[in-house]
Structure 1
């Protein structure tokens, strides 16, 4: 996405007012200087993902971030994908997976342009703002901005599939974690099941993403997850058992239950890039899902 196809950022708002500073921050993500990149990530996070809230500019940041993540020469692509995840999903946690965007954003449907304009006027334009005047629509407007950011990411979700093959383990792992929120992407289950078994971090994250897909598992998914139960890598083994427990509850292989019980007893540690919950937390949820 070239800068010529960007929106008029000065006419958009982020958490601190005009978004005219966003293009420079996006450009800085390609800097060879890690300090410059770090400052840009901090600034963008505060601007378009401010304590979980998205803004009118947030949805427009998605496409440039996807381009950066698509570019193999972009420094620290994992951080770019992490930032994209924050912009697209805010502070949503895996408790709400499988995710139903229609239900999640239903409250945003009642928001009209005049409602958004009124909220922005109170926030950024009025010299003597009256927050009470927009109290009845402010939450719905914020939900509208969140929905716009999610839908913007959804349009680019097929690109996320290609990141599963990234050589950087953190990029592939974060891509799998991000894809769990976009279950309608064509070929998603096949792509997740096809992540190489030797790529342990990516494989484990793909297993967790498979755990949260809403549809019944296909033969390819079941074969991949079952094979992972024999992995010498603990994270791959445990996440496969978690996925089978969530998707194959009534026909759970004995090996999967054994892995889960052992992981619970041993208090398996660690977390995977892109996932807020620890492996131990996923094990606990899987056992609870089984009624244990």
Structure 2
């Protein structure tokens, strides 16, 4: 999936600091073994494509790649990837106002928040899988997504109840909500 990054017209999109043509490299840099490179990639993503919680078209365009990274057990820092996705999704759900009009950094009308919220709800089962992951950090990062992205509240409660039982009565520590830049 990460090889498909070039199939997206990133330069036509913007983020907090201008054209989003740097987003593909940032997504690639979330996966290598070098922790310094990964740290820089996550910092850059939070400061540009998810600046102060904003969601841009490039943020949404990056989500399929983030889902692929989070679903690959070989990805280092999968918990950080899941936490980033949850942060993006949380912001869209909190800002979602059906029928409202938002504008992107270019002044054009944007449906990025509404579209991203729909995409996250459509991928709710991925968070169920992450909440059951072998890595407790991934489980912890995914827990908050269950209530946000599963439209079936009863299912969300069942998954949480099962997790609580599997964890011996203690939920895994969640990844802290990232600071807003």
Which range, TM-score by smaller chain? 0.7 to 0.9
Change (3 A) 1:196 1:155: same
TM-score with structure 1 setting the length: 0.53
Distance of 2:34 and 2:41 partners within structure 1: 11
Distance of 2:175 and 2:80 partners within structure 1: 10
Q: Say which structure, 1 or 2, has more relative contact order (CA 8 Å, 6+ apart).
A: 2
Instruction: Give me the CA root mean square deviation.
Output: 2.8
Whose radius of gyration is greater, 1 or 2? 1
- SS in structure 1 opposite 2:54? coil
**Pairs within 5 Å for 1:1-292:** 1-4=1-4, 6-90=7-91, 105-106=96-97, 109-111=99-101, 116=103, 120-121=106-107, 144-185=111-152, 187-195=155-163, 197-200=165-168, 203-204=170-171, 272-274=173-175
Give, in angstroms, the shift of residue 104 of structure 1. Answer: 5.4
Give, in angstroms, the shift of residue 33 of structure 1. Answer: 0.3
Q: Which runs of 5+ in 1 are unaligned?
A: 93-100, 123-140, 206-271, 277-292
Change (3 A) 1:145 1:197: same
Give, in angstroms, the shift of residue 42 of structure 1. Answer: 0.4
Change (3 A) 1:2 1:26: closer
TM-score with structure 2 setting the length: 0.81
Q: Deviations over 1:62-104 (max 9, x none)?
A: 11111111011110111111111222223x8xxxxxxxx5x95
Q: Deviations over 1:17-71 (max 9, x none)?
A: 1111111110111110000000000011111111111112111121111111101
Q: Which residue of 2 aligns with 1:209?
A: none
Does structure 2 retain, via aligned residues, the 8 Å contact 1:157–1:185? no
Give, in angstroms, the shift of residue 149 of structure 1. Answer: 2.3
Q: Which residue of 2 aligns with 1:287?
A: none
Change (3 A) 1:197 1:8: same
Distance of 1:56 and 1:190 partners within structure 2: 33
Give, in angstroms, the shift of residue 275 of structure 1. Answer: 6.2
Give, in angstroms, the shift of residue 105 of structure 1. Answer: 2.4
